[in-house]
Amino acid sequence: MKIWVDADACPAVVKDILYRAADRAQVPLTLIANQMLRVPSSPWVRALQVPSGFDVADQRIAKEVVAGDLVITADVPLAAQVIAIGAYVIDPRGDLLDAGNIQERLTMRNFMESLRSGGVETGGPATYSTADRQAFANRLDGYLAKYARR
């Protein structure tokens, strides 16, 4: 099992949680972004820089991920793509995305996108909170306890 991170928009606090978890669980962690990332020196953590461009990091993750891997992303289309491969997805707020809820998420995302393209102000996501950080850490710990080292 490997952990893949859609790192361009991933909150720094989530990355910090992931660095510690990868070392503790001895699980390979790869952050993929279109900018250079500094990551801690660890045999379990690496960063890959991809060229700039629309969804280039997403495409690289989808190419690399295999069934049983974990992907950290808030990108719903990417989540749907890797769930179809058999990977697991946790978003930075700690929500587990799976075959049972991804279609609903895609439908809502597409609906909101159509509103925005029609000129409707939909606002942005809520500010990332301490509760979000804790929910992510808890979900990740539960996932690692269940699936790491199988």
- pLDDT for the residue 47: 97
- pLDDT for the residue 149: 62
CATH code assigned at 101: 3.40.50
β-pair type (3-6, 70-72): parallel
pTM above 0.85, yes or no: yes
Please tell me the total count of domains within the chain: 1
- pLDDT for the residue 41: 96
Which residues does the chain have with pLDDT short of 50?
Answer: none
- Residue 114: give the domain boundaries: 3-147
